[in-house]
């Protein structure tokens, strides 16, 4: 597994989120709203809500905003209804892309997502065309500067906590868990370590390494999709080495 590439993908995603704070607030509020409508307002009984609240707090969304959204979702007003949709397709160079959306207008959302693919050298496919290339896993990241212990000790602690796999590079440590073990592993490890990323996500089984031309279009596709208010998550198997990412960032 290419650690530099993995770190750059994570770093780039975090930077993109920081530059779109208002959109992150909107997306997190929609996820909290949908979670409450799905399984109630008790985070102890509603795993989806508990994870949404954790992610919202990590994005520095004020507690009063979270509480207001939960109360709104609990109200009797049925004028707002969000439907979960998953879209799959191929990016430039054949990279696999999955898009998770929460929308109150499926026609609008699919049209926007299809246009994003078409304008950036990709194409929207049928459901199932790329999902088999991804596994749902818990994923936790500890930045290297936040760790004082050695690699072997950290890896043993993670495995003892229930992790399926642990990887590391010069930038940080990467913990992978079964979805059902995510909270237990996070709870055990966060007593000692601070996570810069902690989520249940879709991890690709294979990676797509693209030439610069396709890689540049792939980055634009990801940006366009993430900029859409209806899109909650974008998963892909595009992986670039650190040198390529630096080259693309300075290229016009």
Query: What CATH number is attached to the domain comprising 225?
Result: 3.30.70.980
User: 197 near 55, Cβ under 8 Å?
Assistant: no
Choose one of 31, 55, 74: the last residue of a domain: 74
Shared-domain flag, residues 69 and 12: yes
Shared-domain flag, residues 148 and 200: yes
Shared-domain flag, residues 142 and 193: yes
Shared-domain flag, residues 108 and 216: yes
Question: What is the pLDDT tens value at each position of the chain, 252 positions in all?
Answer: 333 456 566 665 555 555 566 688 888 889 999 899 888 999 999 989 998 998 888 888 899 999 988 988 887 556 677 889 999 999 999 999 999 999 989 999 999 999 999 999 999 999 999 999 999 999 999 999 988 888 999 999 999 999 999 998 888 999 999 999 999 999 999 999 999 888 899 999 999 999 999 999 999 999 999 999 999 999 999 998 888 888 887 554
Shared-domain flag, residues 36 and 156: no
User: 98 near 134, Cβ under 8 Å?
Assistant: yes
Shared-domain flag, residues 29 and 148: no
Shared-domain flag, residues 21 and 67: yes
Shared-domain flag, residues 164 and 55: no
Shared-domain flag, residues 213 and 127: yes
Q: Which of 210, 212, 213 is nearest to 237 (CA)?
A: 210
Domain count, the chain: 3
Tokens 């954790």 sit on residue: 54
Q: Which of 206, 189, 205 is nearest to 197 (CA)?
A: 189
The CATH number of whichever domain residue 37 belongs to comes to 1.10.10.200
Shared-domain flag, residues 18 and 122: no
Q: Which of 66, 119, 70, 110 is nearest to 91 (CA)?
A: 119
Shared-domain flag, residues 92 and 188: no
Interhelix angle 21-39/3-18, rounded to 10 degrees, is 90
What range does the domain containing 48 cover? 3-74
User: 169 near 4, Cβ under 8 Å?
Assistant: yes
Shared-domain flag, residues 41 and 95: no
Please tell me the distance from the alpha carbon of residue 101 to that of residue 226, in angstroms, as a whole number. 10
Residue 179's CB is within 10 A of a number of other CB atoms, namely: 13
What is the bridge-based pairing of β-strands 123-124 and 96-103? unpaired
């Amino acid at each position: 597994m290419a650690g530099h590439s993995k770190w750059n993908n994570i770093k780039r995603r975090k930077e993109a989120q920081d530059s779109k704070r208002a959109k992150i607030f909107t997306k997190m509020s929609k996820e909290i709203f949908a979670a409450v409508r799905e399984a109630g307002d008790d985070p102890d009984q509603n795993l989806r809500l508990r994870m949404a609240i954790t992610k919202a707090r990590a994005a520095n969304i004020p507690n009063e905003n979270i509480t207001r959204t939960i109360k709104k979702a609990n109200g009797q007003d049925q004028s707002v209804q969000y439907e979960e949709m998953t879209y799959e397709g191929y990016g430039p160079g054949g990279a696999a892309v999955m898009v998770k959306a929460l929308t109150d207008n499926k026609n609008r959302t699919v049209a926007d997502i299809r246009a994003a693919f078409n304008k950036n050298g990709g194409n929207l496919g049928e459901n199932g065309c790329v999902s088999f290339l991804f596994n749902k896993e818990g994923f936790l990241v500890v930045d290297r500067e936040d760790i004082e212990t050695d690699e072997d000790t950290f890896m043993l602690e993670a495995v003892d906590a229930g992790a399926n796999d642990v990887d590391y590079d010069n930038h940080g440590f990467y913990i992978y868990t079964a979805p059902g073990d995510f909270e237990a592993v996070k709870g055990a490890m966060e007593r000692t370590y601070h996570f810069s990323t902690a989520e249940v996500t879709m991890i690709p089984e294979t990676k797509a390494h693209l030439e610069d031309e396709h890689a540049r279009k792939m980055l634009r596709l990801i940006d366009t999709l993430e900029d859409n208010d209806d899109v909650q998550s974008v998963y892909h198997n595009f992986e670039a080495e650190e040198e390529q990412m630096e080259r693309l960032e300075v290229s016009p």
